[in-house]
A and B are shown apart, each in its own frame.
Chain A
């Protein structure tokens, strides 16, 4: 069955370190998204991509970057982790346009 996976599921890192969170989908979806979820803020969009080599900034993109070298993967990189980036990160994908987004299981990141 097609799916969307994220790794690692849990990560503890130190302030200033570079961290990469992986997202892989096997639906062959064009669109992929990264969100963070914090208490009191709901889901906020970090970056998104509408296809290979396409990336766009979302609402809270500062301190994060993404690259899309193939259809299946959209890794999220925290250039220099900060305590404010402690959060739960969700990856999502959709086929195209305004279609339903399907979410991965999430990555819990703690920055000490």
Chain B
């Protein structure tokens, strides 16, 4: 089976940096995704990591360590519109299914 853990809620200040962690246990790892989901909307793709290291995309970066079963999403220069849930999801090669963590609700305050 798979187990994906991420904090339930986080609060940060506009203009600051926040790091959202995700730890996972899976057999046959085949990639980790981060999605953003605003309240009442569909999840939208943010990033994908399959190899160790940091992937940077504008204000957002995602890091992966396969040996530690660990990833984080780094959001820089926070804006009010970044208030959303951030979903960590892992692909394994048993059934090619994407399994999601419970999501982290980020609240950005002025």
Contact = CB atoms under 8 A, between A and B. Distances in A.
Interface of A: 33, 35, 40-45, 48, 50, 56, 58, 90, 97-98, 100-106
B96 A97 contact: yes
Contacts, number: 44
Interface string B76-110: 00000000000101010001111111110000000
Given A56-B95, A100-B33, A105 B100 contact: no
Given A42-B87, A42-B103, A98-B91, A90 B98 contact: no
B103 A105 contact: no
Contacts of B95: 56
Contact of B44 (A35, A42, A56, A103): A103
Interface in B1-49: 30-31, 33, 41-45, 48
B97 A90 contact: no
A104 B42 CA distance: 6
A105 B41 contact: yes
13 contacts: A45-B97, A50-B96, A56-B95, A90-B43, A97-B96, A98-B30, A100-B33, A100-B45, A101-B98, A102-B45, A103-B42, A104-B42, A106-B42
Given A42-B103, A97-B96, A100-B33, A90 B42 contact: yes
A43 B42 contact: no
